[in-house]
Amino acid sequence: MIYKNYPMVSRVVFGRGSFNQLDEILALKRNGRNAPFIFYVDDVFKDKHWLISRITLSYKDKIIYIPTKEEPKTSQIDQLVEDIILKNSELPSGIIGIGGGIVMDVAKAVALMLTNKGESKDYQGWDLIKHAAIYHVGIPTISGTGAEVSRTTILTGPERKLGINSDYTPFDQVILDPELTKDVPKDQWFYTGMDCFVHCVESLNGTYLNAFSQSYGEKAFELCKEIFLGDTLSTEEAQDQLMMASWHGGMSIAYSQVGIAHAMSYGLGYLLGVKHGLGNCIVFDHLEDYYPDGVALFKQMKAKHNIKLPQGVCANLEDYQFNKMIDVAFSLEPLWENAIGKDWKSIMTREKLLELYKKM
């Protein structure tokens, strides 16, 4: 038996207002005047002075606003990398991603592709990256995905939606400042928060479960119940707790795997562009046969926060489209093996999956 030798985020700051320490942290990492820091910032913050004014730019440092209507594409990453190379004589001192899963994934992918030749689509998969990334920092502004701790950056390429999974992907530094999440819209708070909840359910009910994953998963699961079903937390406490839940949920799947909701959500994402958090919710709502307790809690959470999920997203699809979604979902073999076991292929047939998609 060979056990995974898992890389982790090297440094992390947690606390309200810790974002103010960014300058100090970066100062130690500057490689000179011609090696700028590039800040990718979710474009929702473009006019948010309270956040932007706290990013100090020196020399050739640059803020680049990233639109988040769509999830990151390999072509977008290649373009961002090319822009940096064309405009600078030296490699940047570091890449900083400030935003949700999208912007953090963009920061990770660009940091990797600055030191690895070719196109990012060629690195979608497991352990294809050959050289260490440049210094990269993740600063979440919404909690749930666990992208701040994971060893992947999820990209949609010409052929597949698949992460660049590597030991070089995790951030060198993370700043967890729950105050940054204060203006997240309610629906989005729920969808991204449920990503964390689903990580826990899929990890805790998977065949890959082990003591490491369980300890993180159980903690995050309890936090989610308190945040989404309890009545005792103040708004600020709930923000703090969700940031910790996201971290722990990410740690839990790091050493196990996600399951059916994620596999099917990738299918929806690839074909219809449904975003990760929302896609998980749409799918998970119909998985009571596979995760009965988790789905029952999910339905309570949905009701408590008065969340109305889109219905009939697959209503008008043609056969070839269902087939494509099924292909994408089934290509994520480790997720199915974790969810159902080694003989998953004999249990989850194309017909069953089709039936599930048709309900959504």
* Per CB under 6 A, 146 contacts ligand NAD: yes
* Per CB under 6 A, 136 contacts ligand NAD: no
Q: Using the minimum distance from each CB to ligand NAD, give the nearer residue, 69 or 342.
A: 69
Backbone angles phi, psi at 77, to 5 degrees: -65, -45
Which residues make beta-bridge pairs with 99? 140
Judged by CB under 6 A, the residue of 18, 150, 213, 257 near ligand NAD is 150
- The separation between CA 315 and the C-alpha centre of its own chain, rounded to angstroms, equals 27
Q: Using the minimum distance from each CB to ligand NAD, give the nearer residue, 173 or 181.
A: 181
Judged by CB under 6 A, the residue of 36, 92, 101, 259 near ligand NAD is 101
Q: Using the minimum distance from each CB to Zn ion, give the nearer residue, 38 or 360.
A: 360
Site size toward ligand NAD, by CB under 6 A: 30
> 184 is in the binding site of which of Zn ion, ligand NAD, none (Cβ under 5 to 8 A by kind)?
ligand NAD
Write out the H or E segment, with its range, that includes residue 37.
strand 37-42
Concatenated DSSP letters of 146-214: -TTT-S--EEE-SS-EEEEE-TT-S-SEEEE-GGGGTT--HHHHHHHHHHHHHHHHHHHTSTT--HHHH
Give the single-character DSSP code of 329: H
Q: Using the minimum distance from each CB to ligand NAD, give the nearer residue, 36 or 99.
A: 99
* Per CB under 6 A, 105 contacts ligand NAD: yes
Strand order in the sheet with 11-14: 11-14, 173-176, 136-140, 94-99, 37-42, 62-66
User: Strands 161-165 and 154-156: what pairing?
Assistant: antiparallel
Site for ligand NAD in 13-52 (CB under 6 A): 42, 44
* Per CB under 6 A, 76 contacts ligand NAD: no
Judged by CB under 6 A, the residue of 18, 68, 124, 265 near ligand NAD is 68
Supply 99's token pair. Answer: 């935003």
Which residues make beta-bridge pairs with 94? 37
Supply 190's token pair. Answer: 């729920």
Q: Using the minimum distance from each CB to ligand NAD, give the nearer residue, 153 or 256.
A: 153
* Per CB under 6 A, 217 contacts ligand NAD: no
* Per CB under 6 A, 240 contacts ligand NAD: no
Using CB under 6 A, list all residues that contact ligand NAD.
Answer: 42, 44, 68, 71, 99-103, 105, 141-142, 144-147, 150, 152-154, 180-181, 183-184, 188, 192, 195, 275-277
